[in-house]
A and B are shown apart, each in its own frame.
Chain A
Amino acid sequence: AQSVTQLGSHVSVSEGALVLLRCNYSSSVPPYLFWYVQYPNQGLQLLLKYTTGATLVKGINGFEAEFKKSETSFHLTKPSAHMSDAAEYFCAVRLDQGGSEKLVFGKGTKLTVNP
């Protein structure tokens, strides 16, 4: 069965520092991969997605992620953290198989940005 592992339930960075949030997935078929962000007391909002094609995907708010099939990874990065990036981030995978639209989510990584 497909699964998603997010390494580190909490990540803390200084403002202006690199943000790196890790996501590894398991899949026997090419996956669709997503990163969502959740701000306090809000729903999840799509940051970026990988379906096919270019493996480096750019999203909103300066975030990007790279799909690495050999490492089964889809890590999220941002060169310079802003205070407004403090939120919880979820990686998710959907198998493009059997017509299912289900997403499997990781447990989330809470990002703290220190001034």
Chain B
Amino acid sequence: DSGVTQTPKHLITATGQRVTLRCSPRSGDLSVYWYQQSLDQGLQFLIQYYNGEERAKGNILERFSAQQFPDLHSELNLSSLELGDSALYFCASSPRTDSPLHFGNGTRLTVT
């Protein structure tokens, strides 16, 4: 158990809808990272937050947004969903920027 908690584990929704994925980092970890893993793309970095502020952006679509709250949990919001957004979404956390990342077990999103 990495100590990173992601909810829900599974999510099924229709095209055009909006969903929110939640991540609780390990106790004391200030950084949160979001990754997307689809069958044909591998693990893609989306975005990083550090202590509530956006630190880095990767290949995140404009339809996607994220935030990190004062209690350090993070949410990834996906809107106007398309079939191609079906994927595993992973959250990771680390205490400092020079520490290893520890990943949660992901949320499997299915868009129908």
Chain A complexes with chain B: no
Which of B's residues lie within 8 Å of A, judged by CB? none
